[in-house]
């Protein structure tokens, strides 16, 4: 019997012995059996492919059943397999691998080509990955800016040509010894044969050692880059897992795909990491072991690619029944899908009073008036919540909320010697016009990024006056419109994302031909396409062709590069535009994004619910990038309308939207609400008396209250500029500062109540409804009534109640 057949039969026998325990009679049934990768392609004698089998059960858990499954090859003469279920080429041809577990089976196509060919090792494709796997070119070792112990490599291999020079030319014969490969310092230190501050990185019998030794023995050849296939994709399997109990394991497998159509198993060369080792740890071989209950994102890095897989860890055998409740729309369905997986029950839907205050603050930045409050509560229509959402969306205050948000993102402010007050004001009014007229977000973005002309005549051009730095401009565009912080790639390949220096400077090249000249009015600047100017790569000085982030190199000959970029960026061809935008909108209503921070999309910062994010983005795109349609979907969902009161299962969960989060009201909105409930007015520069703080155009205009409560200065595009965290200074200002106390004393509301003949109970109720959109509880009313006792000062009593309400957490927070 041939050895290959004997190996397969042995593996099958072992699996069959284990099969009776695969799924016990009283356990969950198998919903799906998956084999990774879904096909096996073996090219040349050096290739191999490991197989991972995952069973998905009806209770949403998963299990690695590779060791328990049976494997049968239709033609076992084409490949050989070892005990770890790794397949190696033997002869050219195609066959089928049948994998079975329980009552399920999967067929996997197997193709073998050039089985007798042993290609030479490649410096870039085979040797450079060894340095990354061993950690040699990491930031804590020789990849540091100054290197370590007299030897420097580029961080994560962003400069392979420079690394080759330093390996072979800086100390000839020492780091790489072509005559005696084993005497090469790079091998001796890596294997711990001589003192090495990094310790032993691999054994002399390891694949890593063998690869470098073989390459050196062959003369340590460099690559002919033009003939070398490039890495186009890295696939990490499985893409998700729900592990049942501490100690459960799941093996990962990583496959690299190249431009010549080949692929290879790079599991042994990938660098694995986890963003939560309390819930899931991963070893160097890609074996994930479950820890405490929680979520983790397991990542694999190979060359310039970082990919990840979502892991959910549950207590073993946790009994859970998701509540049977209606779903208002797709948002509720997708949130519920995630909550079922993590065994978390949602909170109840909030009361009508809570909903009305919450949605009013979120949509128009004001609390409902007493008349609006009474009309809503008295309305018997079961669809009254949807009706009030539709009504609020038609108010001008809704567009003002989003003008303010865009003004922060676009840094609308005066800038000395660049943006005059007139230009800034016209720029702000352009935003007002766009949003008040419901201009689709893609159209507004396209018009902004491609704007040309004078900063007075074409106000959107003020966007290009915020900075003359091409690098900063490119970084800002990526962060604002795609939610990506690409700054790291300016100096080296991004350590936690896929972006390389080539990607960075290719994107910068779109802004290399922005021309500026003075207009007839010396205060005005003309923005135009200069038609000339290139961006050079800092390592080799070559001119970088404009390239979309994550996309292709477009044809920009004879075109305004900004127009080419704008057409792609605000289109379905760029998936990051829609996902970034809907994530920002979601965060406005929930206080936290599906990706958090909202402008930090990267592989190592995954979405808490990627299916929800993708569906929101898809529907937003299909709607023609209609902001109101997106907002309407969010506000009508039960997910948005849930109570802040936690239950036992969701008390410690704040990222899966099982309950509403408490959110401090934003600085401008809080000042507006204080003015609203006290019926007083504020005066801001450039605005009439009584204007709202949310209408302030200039980011440099502020007052003590707004500064104390964290109004953005718009000096950067970072979402972190808006401060929402409560501070002691804020509390002291509300308690003792001039804003609240002065408004209470001068309030016409208070004067009207003092002069009325209403009984104390009604006076207290009026202030509660006005400030908190609810009536006082009997306990609250009984505690306040003594203030109105015989001989008391009615004015002082009302001032005290008003002051207490305006200083309450319930008033300052949206809940």
Task: Tell me the per-residue pLDDT of 522-565, one tens digit each, with 9 for 90 and over.
Answer: 889 999 999 999 999 988 889 999 999 988 999 999 999 999 99
pLDDT score for 8: 40
Q: pLDDT tens digits for 191-246?
A: 999 999 889 999 999 999 999 999 999 999 999 888 899 999 999 999 999 999 99
Q: pLDDT tens digits for 2-44?
A: 333 333 433 333 333 333 334 445 678 999 999 999 999 999 9
Q: Determine which of 100-109, 116-125, 167-176 has the lowest per-residue pLDDT on average.
A: 167-176
CA 642, chain centre distance (Å): 24
pLDDT score for 146: 86
Name the token pair of 30.
């198998």
How do beta strands 253-258 and 62-64 pair?
A: unpaired
Rounded to an integer, what distance in angstroms lies between the CA atom of residue 267 and that of residue 271?
8
Mean pLDDT score, 289-299: 95
pLDDT score for 522: 87
Other CB atoms within 10 A of residue 791 CB:
4
Rounded to an integer, what distance in angstroms lies between the CA atom of residue 361 and that of residue 357?
6
* Closest C-alpha to 513, from 495, 531, 498: 531
Helix (H, G, I), strand (E, B) or coil at 739: helix
Please provide the average confidence, as pLDDT, over all residues in the chain: 92
Rounded to an integer, what distance in angstroms lies between the CA atom of residue 505 and that of residue 319?
53
Q: In sequence order, what are the residues at sequence separation of 6 or more whose Cβ sits closer than 8 angstroms to the Cβ of residue 671? A: 682, 693, 705, 706, 709, 739
Q: What percent of the chain has pLDDT over 70?
A: 97
Rounded to an integer, what distance in angstroms lies between the CA atom of residue 183 and that of residue 176?
8
pLDDT score for 140: 86
pLDDT score for 10: 35
* Closest C-alpha to 453, from 560, 354, 324: 560
pLDDT score for 491: 84
Residue 659 pLDDT more than 90?
A: yes
Q: Report which secondary-structure segment, H or E, holds 94.
A: strand 93-101
- Of 21-25, 172-176, 273-277, which one has max mean pLDDT? 273-277
pLDDT score for 4: 38
Q: Determine which of 382-396, 630-644, 703-717 has the lowest per-residue pLDDT on average.
A: 703-717
Rounded to an integer, what distance in angstroms lies between the CA atom of residue 49 and that of residue 59?
30
pLDDT score for 26: 62
Q: Determine which of 84-98, 311-325, 429-443, 616-630 has the lowest per-residue pLDDT on average.
A: 311-325
Name the token pair of 684.
């801001």
pLDDT category of residue 499 using cuts at 50, 70 and 90: confident
What is the value of pTM for the model shown? 0.90
Q: In sequence order, what are the residues at sequence separation of 6 or more whose Cβ sits closer than 8 angstroms to the Cβ of residue 265? A: 47, 48, 49, 50, 86, 253, 254, 255
Residue 628 pLDDT more than 70?
A: yes
Name the token pair of 649.
């299962």
Other CB atoms within 10 A of residue 759 CB:
11
Mean pLDDT score, 745-767: 93
pLDDT score for 172: 84
pLDDT score for 721: 85
Residue 803 pLDDT more than 60?
A: yes
């Amino acid at each position: 019997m041939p050895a290959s057949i004997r190996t397969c039969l042995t593996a099958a026998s072992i699996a069959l012995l284990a099969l009776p325990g695969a799924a016990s009679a009283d356990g969950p049934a198998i919903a799906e059996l998956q084999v990774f990768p879904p096909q096996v392609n073996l090219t040349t004698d050096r290739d191999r492919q490991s197989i991972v089998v995952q069973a998905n059960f009806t209770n949403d858990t998963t299990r690695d059943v590779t060791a328990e499954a049976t494997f049968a090859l239709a033609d076992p003469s084409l490949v050989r397999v070892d005990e770890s279920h790794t397949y190696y080429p033997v002869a050219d041809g195609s066959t089928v691998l049948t994998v079975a577990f329980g009552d399920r089976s999967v067929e996997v196509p197997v193709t073998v080509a050039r089985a007798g060919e042993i290609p030479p090792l490649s410096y870039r494709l085979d040797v450079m990955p060894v340095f990354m796997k061993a950690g040699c070119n990491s930031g804590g070792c020789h990849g540091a800016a100054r290197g370590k112990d007299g030897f420097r490599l580029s961080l994560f291999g962003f400069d392979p040509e420079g690394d080759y020079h330093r390996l072979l030319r800086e100390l000839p014969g020492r780091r790489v010894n072509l005559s005696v490969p084993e005497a090469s310092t790079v091998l001796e230190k890596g294997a711990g044969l001589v003192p090495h501050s990094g310790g032993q990185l691999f054994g002399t019998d390891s694949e890593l050692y063998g690869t470098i030794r073989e390459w050196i023995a062959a003369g340590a050849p460099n690559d002919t880059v033009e003939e070398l296939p490039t890495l186009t994709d890295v696939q990490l399997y499985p893409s998700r897992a729900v592990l049942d109990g501490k100690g459960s394991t799941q093996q990962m497998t990583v496959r690299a795909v190249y431009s010549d159509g080949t692929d290879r198993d790079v599991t042994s060369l990938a660098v694995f990491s986890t963003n939560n080792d309390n819930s899931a740890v991963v070893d160097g071989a890609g074996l994930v072991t479950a820890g405490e209950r929680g979520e983790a994102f397991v990542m694999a890095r190979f060359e310039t690619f970082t990919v990840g897989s979502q892991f959910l860890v549950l207590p073993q055998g946790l009994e859970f029944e998701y509540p049977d409740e209606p779903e208002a729309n797709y948002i509720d369905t997708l949130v519920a899908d995630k909550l079922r997986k993590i065994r978390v029950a949602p909170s109840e839907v909030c009361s009508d009073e809570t909903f009305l205050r919450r949605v009013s603050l979120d949509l128009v930045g004001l609390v409902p008036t007493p008349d609006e409050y009474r009309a809503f509560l008295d309305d018997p229509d079961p669809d009254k919540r949807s009706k009030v959402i539709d009504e609020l969306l038609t108010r001008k205050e809704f567009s003002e909320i989003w003008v303010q948000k865009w003004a922060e993102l676009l840094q609308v402010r005066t800038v000395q010697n660049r943006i005059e007050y007139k230009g800034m004001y016209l720029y702000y009014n352009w935003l007002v016009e766009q949003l008040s007229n419901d201009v689709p977000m893609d159209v507004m973005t396209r018009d902004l990024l491609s704007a040309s002309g004078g900063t007075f005549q074409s106000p959107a051009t003020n966007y290009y006056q915020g900075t003359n730095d091409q690098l900063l401009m490119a970084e800002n565009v990526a962060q604002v419109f795609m939610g990506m912080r690409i700054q790291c790639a300016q100096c080296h390949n991004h350590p936690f994302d896929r972006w390389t220096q080539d990607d960075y400077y290719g994107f910068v090249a779109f802004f290399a031909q922005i021309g500026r000249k003075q207009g007839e009015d010396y205060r005005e600047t003309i923005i135009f396409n200069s038609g000339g100017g290139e961006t050079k790569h800092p390592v080799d000085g070559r001119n970088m062709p404009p390239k979309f982030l994550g996309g292709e190199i477009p044809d920009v000959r004879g075109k305004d590069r900004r127009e080419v970029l704008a057409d792609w960026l605000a289109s379905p061809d760029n998936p990051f535009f829609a996902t970034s935008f809907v994530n920002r909108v979601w965060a406005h209503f929930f206080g936290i994004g599906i990706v958090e921070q909202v402008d930090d999309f990267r592989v190592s910062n995954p979405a808490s619910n990627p299916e929800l994010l993708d569906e929101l983005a898809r529907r937003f795109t299909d709607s023609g990038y209609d902001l109101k349609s997106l907002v309407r979907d969010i506000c009508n969902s039960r997910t948005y309308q849930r109570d802040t009161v936690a239950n036992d299962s969701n008390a410690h969960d704040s990222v899966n939207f099982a309950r509403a989060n408490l959110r401090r009201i934003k600085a401008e909105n809080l000042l507006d609400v204080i003015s609203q409930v006290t019926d007083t007015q504020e005066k801001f520069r450039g605005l009439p008396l009584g204007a709202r703080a949310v209408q302030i155009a200039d980011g440099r205009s502020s007052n003590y209250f707004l500064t104390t409560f964290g109004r953005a200065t718009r000096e950067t595009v970072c979402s972190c500029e808006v401060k929402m965290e409560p501070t002691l200074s804020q509390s002291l200002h509300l308690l003792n500062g001039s804003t609240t106390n002065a408004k209470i004393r001068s309030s016409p509301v208070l004067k009207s109540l003092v002069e009325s003949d209403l009984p104390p109970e009604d006076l207290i109720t009026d202030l509660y409804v006005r400030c908190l959109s609810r009536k006082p509880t009997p306990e609250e009313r009984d505690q306040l009534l003594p203030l109105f006792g015989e001989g008391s000062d009615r004015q002082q009593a009302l001032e005290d109640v008003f002051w207490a309400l305006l200083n309450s957490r319930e008033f300052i927070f949206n809940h």
